[in-house]
Amino acid sequence: MRTSHTLNRILRGALVAAAGAVLAVSLWLSGALTVFEAKTWDWRQRLMAEPSEATDDVVLILLDQDSLDWAEEENGLTWPWPREVYAVIVSFCRRAGARAVAFDVLYSEPSKYGVYDDEAFGAAIEESSAFVGTVFLGRDTGAATSWPPEVPEPDLAVDGLDAWLEGLPEAAAESLAYPRASFPVPEVARNAESLANVQLAPDADGVYRRAPLFQLFDGFAVPSLALAAHAVGSRNTGSPPSAVRIEPGRATVGESTVFMDRRARAILRFRGPSGTHTAYSAAAIIQSELRLMAGEAPPVAPEELEGRTVLFGFSAPGLYDLRSSPVSGVYPGVEIHATMLDNLLSGDFMAEFPRGAGIASILLLALGAGVTASLISGALKNSVLYPLFLVLPPAAGLLFFTAGLWFPVVPAVTAVFGTLTGAGILNYATEGRQKRYIKSAFKQYLSPVFIEELITDPERLKLGGERRVLSIFFSDLQGFTTISQGLTPEELTALLNDYLTAMTDIILEEGGTVDKYEGDAIIAFWNAPLDLEDHALRCVRAALRCQKTLAEMRPAVHARIGRELHMRIGINTGPAVVGNMGSDKRFDYTMFGDAVNLAARLEGVNKQFGTYTMISRDTLDAVGDTYPVRELSRVAVVGRGAPVRVYEPMLPEEHAARRAALDEFTRGLTAYYAGRFAEAESLFAGIADRDPPAAHYLDRCRELLADPPESWDGVWVMTSK
C-alpha cells in the first residue's frame, strides 16, 4: 500500500517535471530566455575571469585621454593626429622586436596633412614587415563592392570552407558575408602584411560576447584582427602560418580549437576587467621612440614589447571606441580583439553546451526537483528543497564554465522553478484536501508532531476501521463525584481543565491517541493511527509520568480545594477494532473490543487492592523488564470468564524504597495462591499498615479462613465493575 502511494507520488512528480522541462526548453529554443541567460553568462565571466599563460604575450598601446592631452599641450597637436605620429609608434614596435603589430584603426580617407603624411606612415609600415592593417566590412556602408586590384588579396586559406558554409543555416551563412567594404588608403593597404576585418556585432542587448574568426567579402575569407595578428606573428618569427581548418561547430587554427556558435561566432573567454592586458599609453610609446632616436633613456624600454603581439587602439572617451562587455560596461574595442587573440594563443575559447545534453540536463534537474517535491512536504520543502534545487543550475553553470562550456542556467532555473511551483500546486490540489482532513480529524486526538507524521506519510493511516493490537489506557479520579459536589461550576471547570491538560500533554508526548474524555475520566490508546512498535512501553511510561505529575500537583490542589486528587489507571494490550465511528457528518476516532473492556475493568479493579496503576499480563509481556512490577492477583473481571494476571508497575526509585515490603507481599501472595491462608495472613499482617494491597489481602485471608472454599484456584472474582 505504501509502495503504491509512493510510486503514485513519484509518477506525479515526474509528469510535473516533464511539463516544466518542456516549458523551459520551448522558451529557450524560441529565444525568449536569451537576454536573461546572457546576463547570467556575464555574471559567470566576471566571477571566473582570470589571466591565461598567454595574457602577458598580448600588449596594448592605447590612445587614451592622457595621450590626447599630452599631444595638445606639449606639441600643439589637435585631433586628428598626423599619421607620421602613428609611424613613430610602428617604428618603436619594430625596434622592440614585436612579434606583430595590429592597428584597430581604419585609415579610409587621405590625411588632411597631405600626401607626405600618408607616405611617411606607409614607409614605416613597409619597414616593420609585421603590420596588420584594417578593413571594415559593412552591409550598407563602404565604397567598395569588390576587392580592389591594387590591394594585395588576403592569403587566409580556410580548409573545408565551402562544405562548412553549405551546412550552415541560411541566416548564419548570410551573416558571415558582407556586400560592401571600406579599405584603408593605398599607402597602408599596399604595405601592410595583412588586412583584417574589425567589424564586430554585439548581442541583442548590446554586449560584445562573441566575435567571428573571419568573414567573407567578394569570395575572400577576411580574417579577424586577432587571427591576422596571430598569423603575421607566426610568419614574423619564422614559424609556418597556422593552417585554418573548419568543420561543423569548430575551427582549428594551428593547435588551437575555436568553437563556433550557431551563427559561426566564437564565444570569448574574458580574462578580467579592462586593463588586464599590459597597456601603454600612445604618448609614452611616442616619447620612448623619440628619446631613443636622440640617444636618451626611454620611459618604456623596447624589451618590454619584444616577442609580444601588440594591438593599437583607442580608449579615450571622445574617440567612440568604447564597448560594453560581460566584464565591464565600458571596455575599449581593441581589448575585445586582445581577448580573442589571447584565446587563440591559449586555445581555450568557450563553447556552447551541446543542445541535446542541455535538454537532457534540464529534464534531469526538473525530474529531481519534481520527484523530490512530491515526496517531501512541510517546512523542509520550503526551507531546504526549493533553495537547493534553484541553486543547482547556477552551480552547474559555474562548474561547466571551468570546463569551457556555456551551460544554459536560465532555462534550467526556469524548468526547476516551474516544476517546483507546479508540484506545489498539484500537491495542494491532490494531497491538500487529505492533509486538511487528517488535521481536522485528528487534532483533538494526537499531538501536532504525530499529525505531521501522518500528513507526511498518509499510508500509516487507515481510516474507517481496522483490527489492530493496541495498548489501552483508562483513568479516573478517585472520589471525584464527592469532590465535585463541594465546588462551584467555575471552580470545578478550572480544576478539571488544569488536571486534564497536564495528563493529556503527557499522553500526547508519549505518542498516545486521546479517544475521549468522560468527565474526569481519560480514555486513550497507542499504536493507532500511527504504528508504534513500543506502544505498550509508551503507554506504561505515560501512566507512571501521569502519576508522578499528579503527585507534584497534589499540594497545590489541596491548598486550592482542601482535598487531594488520586487517579486510578487501568492498562491492557490486545487486539481491538479502531477507526472512525459515527455518521458521515460527525464521527469519533475510537476503539472497541474485549481488550478495551478489560482495560476499563482494570481501572476499577484498582479499588479492590488500594492501588492506582494496574496492567495486564499481556501488557507486561510487551513491556518486558523496563519497569519493575509486582504481581497483584489473578482476577476474573465482570463480563469476562477467563482470569487475568494483573500487576502494579512502579518507577525504579519507588520499587527500591519499598523493596522489603514488596518481597514480603510476594511471599504472602505465593502462600495465598497455594491455599495456605493462615501463612498468608501472617505475612500480609506484617506489612498491612504500609501497603494497601497487603491490607486488602489480609481481610480476604480472614474471610477465607472463616469460610474455607470447597475448591481453590487462587482467582479473585470481581463482583462489580
Q: What pLDDT, on the 0 to 100 scale, is given for residue 627?
A: 96
Per the structure block, which three cell numbers stand in for 333? 574595442
**H or E stretch covering 631:** strand 629-636
Q: Is the pLDDT of residue 678 over 90?
A: yes
Domain ranges within the chain, ordered by starting residue: 1-52+375-430, 57-347, 463-654, 658-721
Q: Is the pLDDT of residue 314 over 90?
A: yes
The rounded distance, in Å, linking the Cα atoms of 617 and 590 is 24
Q: Is the pLDDT of residue 130 over 50?
A: yes
Q: Give the confidence band of 382 by pLDDT, cuts at 50, 70, 90.
A: low
More confident residue, 637 or 692: 692
675 Cβ contact partners less than 8 Å away, ≥ 6 residues apart: 712, 714
Q: What is the mean pLDDT of the chain?
A: 90
Query: What digits encode the pLDDT tens for the residues 216-260?
Result: 999 999 999 999 999 999 887 766 666 789 998 899 998 889 998
More confident residue, 432 or 278: 278
Q: Are 347 and 256 in contact (CB under 8 A)?
A: yes
Query: What digits encode the pLDDT tens for the residues 604-637?
Result: 999 999 999 999 999 999 999 999 999 999 999 8
CA distances from 393 to 18, 181, 338, 361 (A): 17, 43, 31, 9
- Output the DSSP codes for 439-471: HHHHTTTS-HHHHHHHHH-GGG--TT-EEEEEE
Q: Are 677 and 705 in contact (CB under 8 A)?
A: yes
Backbone angles phi, psi at 292, to 5 degrees: -65, -40
**Residue spans of alpha helices (H) in 408-447:** 409-430, 432-442
Share of the chain above pLDDT 90, in %: 72
Q: What pLDDT, on the 0 to 100 scale, is given for residue 602?
A: 96
Three-state SS for 715? strand
Q: Is the pLDDT of residue 312 over 90?
A: yes
Packing angle between helix 2-30 and helix 409-430, nearest 10 degrees? 140
How many Cα atoms occupy the beta-carbon half-sphere of 470 within 13 Å? 34
* Three-state secondary structure string covering 521-559: EEEEEECCCCCCCCHHHHHHHHHHHHHHHHHHHHHHHHH
Q: What pLDDT, on the 0 to 100 scale, is given for residue 1?
A: 45
Q: What pLDDT, on the 0 to 100 scale, is given for residue 702?
A: 95
E strand segments, 282-406: 309-314, 322-325, 328-332, 351-352, 405-406
Query: What digits encode the pLDDT tens for the residues 166-191?
Result: 888 888 888 899 999 999 999 999 99
Per the structure block, which three cell numbers stand in for 63? 590612445
The rounded distance, in Å, linking the Cα atoms of 409 and 525 is 53
Instruction: Provide the Cα torsion 83, 87, 90, 91; round to 10°.
Output: -170
Task: Average the pLDDT over each of 34-48, 378-392, 559-573 and give the range with the smallest value.
Answer: 378-392
Q: Is the pLDDT of residue 46 over 90?
A: yes
Rg (CA), the chain: 47
Q: How many beta carbons lie within 10 A of that of residue 317, not counting itself? A: 11
Residue 540: alpha-carbon gap to chain centroid: 43
Q: What pLDDT, on the 0 to 100 scale, is given for residue 5?
A: 63
Per-residue pLDDT averaged across 584-594, rounded? 74
**Residue spans of alpha helices (H) in 50-160:** 65-75, 83-96, 115-128
More confident residue, 135 or 578: 135
Task: Average the pLDDT over each of 93-97, 315-319, 422-426, 526-530 and give the range with the smallest value.
Answer: 422-426
Q: How many residues does the chain have?
A: 721
The rounded distance, in Å, linking the Cα atoms of 274 and 123 is 33
The rounded distance, in Å, linking the Cα atoms of 551 and 556 is 10
The rounded distance, in Å, linking the Cα atoms of 339 and 656 is 85
Q: Is the pLDDT of residue 380 over 90?
A: no
Q: Are 477 and 565 in contact (CB under 8 A)?
A: yes
Q: Shortest CA distance to 89 belongs to which of 72, 113, 67?
A: 67
User: Phi-psi bin for 192: left (phi > 0), alpha (psi -120 to 50), beta?
Assistant: beta
The rounded distance, in Å, linking the Cα atoms of 367 and 10 is 10
The rounded distance, in Å, linking the Cα atoms of 526 and 541 is 12
Q: Shortest CA distance to 574 belongs to which of 544, 594, 590, 604?
A: 594
**H or E stretch covering 358:** helix 355-375
Per-residue pLDDT averaged across 501-528, rounded? 92
Q: Are 165 and 121 in contact (CB under 8 A)?
A: no
Q: Shortest CA distance to 504 belongs to which of 546, 553, 442?
A: 546
Query: What digits encode the pLDDT tens for the residues 468-511?
Result: 999 999 999 999 988 888 899 999 999 999 999 999 999 999 99
Task: Average the pLDDT over each of 346-355, 424-433, 525-534 and give the range with the smallest value.
Answer: 424-433
The rounded distance, in Å, linking the Cα atoms of 697 and 631 is 13
The rounded distance, in Å, linking the Cα atoms of 620 and 647 is 8
Per the structure block, which three cell numbers stand in for 97? 622586436
Q: Is the pLDDT of residue 534 over 90?
A: yes
Q: Output the pTM of the full model.
A: 0.66
Under CATH, domain 463-654 is a member of which superfamily? Nucleotide cyclase, GGDEF domain (3.30.70.1230)
Going by DSSP bridges, is the β-strand pair 194-197/131-138 parallel, antiparallel, or unpaired? parallel
Q: Give the confidence band of 446 by pLDDT, cuts at 50, 70, 90.
A: low
CA distances from 316 to 59, 235, 330, 363 (A): 17, 32, 11, 48
